[in-house]
Chains A and B, each alone.
Chain A
Amino acid sequence: MLEVEALATAYGQSQVLFGVSFGVRAGEVATLLGRNGMGKTTTVRSIMGMVPIRGGAITFEGRPLQGLPSYLVAQAGIGLVPEGRQVFPNLTVRENLLAAAADRFRRADPWTLDKIFALFPQLAGRRGHFGSQLSGGEQQMLAIGRALMTNPRMLILDEATEGLAPLVCIEIYRAIESLKASGLAILIIDKNLRALTRTADRHYVLEKGRVVWSGVSSELVADRDAQHRYLGV
């Protein structure tokens, strides 16, 4: 579904990605792993067209994405839940969701406010509150809801549970599981390895701008050496 081939990206003089290649198949949950500064977020930003890429190819459902501005990448069907959540602080919960609402692929069963509130019941009671008045966990739920309201064909979560309380993390992963069950392709970046190996199918480990390890969950769980070397656990 998403194919990234030999992706190279640089910020000015300093190159960050040196030929990253990976793919996410339809209905699959994949992860990007690696320590801080290894290029995970830069990979996401490259896919989304938020930084210009130096080389390589990004295709989504057979369509090249490289060079497209990010609003067209979003319109192509990729929903982003960004690092740091970044909900609109001056819009209410309801408005955050409605502003994003779009059904570009005429889905049989598009996302609605009610469905988002069914996925995250905690948000329902906060629908009139401004984005700035939410807790971190609620902001993350709203950020996921906002991405879902664009009815994406694939969801990208950058730092899915960073800085959230353990109970909230459980809530977020419960939602991710239910999205996976609905057949949505998902790419997750997170530090929560135990939850990731349980939820995700395939993993890619980045180190210094390259994919140095890839495999399915059972392989990652078994490979203590890779976990230690690349992830420091």
Chain B
Amino acid sequence: MNSRTRAIVLATGLAVLAAVPPVAGLLNQPFYLDLVRRIMIFAIAALSLNLILGYGGMISFGHAAYLGIGAYAVGVLAHYGIDNGFLQWALAIGASALVALVIGAVSIRTSGVYFIMITLAFTQMLYYLGISVEEFGGDDGMRLAAKSQFGLIDLNDGNAFYYLVLAVLVLFLFLGHRLVNSRFGMVIRAARSNEARTRSIGFSPYPYRLAAFVIAGAMCGLAGALLVNHTAYLTPEFMNWTRSGELMFMVILGGTASIAGPVLGAFALLLVEDALSGWTQHWQLILGPLLVLSVLFFRRGLAGLLFGKNE
């Protein structure tokens, strides 16, 4: 598939997403607006994870940490009566980047299974921190006092919020594409395939990887800020390790070798989950084998099926 048809596929996908609010309104089914918005938020998180997992070869099993940090940044400020959205979201991004810097600085010195375990361990620490802070609801979490205020854009308006999420998704698809194809992205990808060779052309991979890790964390932090506005509720469950696993699965199911892959993965996983859970309460029994089969037979993910080899 050449780049032109790929652009057409992408444009069609975006057109379909843009058409969801009016169609849902016409059919009087606000549920779908809600569902697709939630999926897009997870797509943003999965997309950010893919920057380090797919392109950087850094298998972070703790990416949900930044969803949680972004959500808590918004929730805690709102709890103290600060509902300025620009401030809240800036904190969500900044705090996520800072935590990613600390976690990355330690974990990127390791690799393979150690990297997986360290990123998991850090996220579990944050998860238990969330549980232990009674002021913010502890285990039970707390209601978001008020949605982020942006002046012109009112997040209480379902359609406006939907289009904001879509805009962030499109922006991140664009930024991700630019990043991966930049010189910086080339070094990250080169280091994934051959670290020793990357050194011998004059690069120490560490600072490049750390920068990518921080960028991915910051992007996921914004997804967290969106998520808490979407659910209007926050709990430490946002940082649960199963959430990190779901994000990884979206990335792998969708395809690690393309920017749009994880978005497909998020849609496939959450739509199937939604359909199955409406049908039987033992839906996980069916979803599990489906996921195993998809990994066995679509090694390049859904993006590989759709876009062909050279994406």
* Residues on A with beta carbons closer than 8 Å to the beta carbon of B193: 88-91
* Residues on A with beta carbons closer than 8 Å to the beta carbon of B186: 91, 95, 98-99
Is B199 an interface position by the 8 A CB rule? yes
Specify the chain B residue showing the minimal Cβ separation from A100.
Answer: B201
Is A102 an interface position by the 8 A CB rule? yes
Is A192 an interface position by the 8 A CB rule? no
* Residues on A with beta carbons closer than 8 Å to the beta carbon of B202: 71, 74-75, 100, 102, 104, 150
Is A80 an interface position by the 8 A CB rule? yes
Residues of chain B touching chain A, judged by Cβ–Cβ distance below 8 Å, are: 183, 186-187, 189-190, 192-194, 196-204, 257, 310
How far apart are the CA atoms of A48 and B194 in the complex, in Å?
16
Query: Contact at B199–A71, with CB atoms within 8 Å?
Result: yes
Extra inter-chain contacts (5) besides given A50-B196, A146-B201, CB under 8 Å: A70-B199, A74-B199, A86-B197, A88-B197, A102-B202
Partner of B183, one of A82, A90, A98, A146: A98
How far apart are the CA atoms of A48 and B202 in the complex, in Å?
11
How far apart are the CA atoms of A48 and B201 in the complex, in Å?
10
Number of CB contacts from chain A to chain B under 8 A:
65
Interface size on A, residues (CB 8 A): 29
Partner of A147, one of B187, B194, B201, B203: B201
User: Smallest CB–CB gap between A163 and chain B, Å?
Assistant: 18
* Residues on B with beta carbons closer than 8 Å to the beta carbon of A89: 193
Query: Contact at A74–B200, with CB atoms within 8 Å?
Result: yes
Specify the chain A residue showing the minimal Cβ separation from B203.
Answer: A71
- Could you name 24 residue pairs across A and B whose Cβ atoms are closer than 8 Å? A48-B200, A69-B199, A71-B200, A71-B203, A74-B199, A74-B200, A74-B202, A74-B203, A80-B201, A82-B200, A88-B189, A88-B193, A90-B189, A90-B257, A91-B189, A91-B193, A95-B189, A99-B186, A99-B187, A102-B202, A146-B201, A147-B201, A149-B201, A150-B202
User: Smallest CB–CB gap between A42 and chain B, Å?
Assistant: 15
Specify the chain B residue showing the minimal Cβ separation from A156.
Answer: B200
How far apart are the CA atoms of A98 and B204 in the complex, in Å?
16
User: Smallest CB–CB gap between A152 and chain B, Å?
Assistant: 9
- Summarize A's interface: helix, strand, loop or mixed: mixed
Known: A90-B192, A95-B186, A99-B186. A74 touches B201 (CB 8 A): yes
Specify the chain A residue showing the minimal Cβ separation from B192.
Answer: A90
Specify the chain B residue showing the minimal Cβ separation from A78.
Answer: B200
User: Smallest CB–CB gap between B300 and chain A, Å?
Assistant: 13
Known: A99-B183, A99-B187, A99-B190. A82 touches B197 (CB 8 A): yes
Q: Mark A98-112, 1 if CB is under 8 A from B, else 0.
A: 111110100000000
Question: When A and B form their complex, which 10 residue pairs have the shortest distance between CB atoms, in order from nearest?
Answer: A74-B202, A99-B186, A100-B201, A70-B199, A71-B199, A71-B204, A88-B190, A80-B200, A75-B202, A90-B193
Specify the chain A residue showing the minimal Cβ separation from B201.
Answer: A100
Within 8 A of B (CB), among A60-81: 69-71, 73-75, 79-80
How far apart are the CA atoms of A111 and B137 in the complex, in Å?
61
How far apart are the CA atoms of A146 and B203 in the complex, in Å?
13
* Residues on A with beta carbons closer than 8 Å to the beta carbon of B310: 130
Known: A146-B201, A150-B201, A150-B202. A70 touches B196 (CB 8 A): yes
How far apart are the CA atoms of A86 and B194 in the complex, in Å?
8
How far apart are the CA atoms of A18 and B310 in the complex, in Å?
49
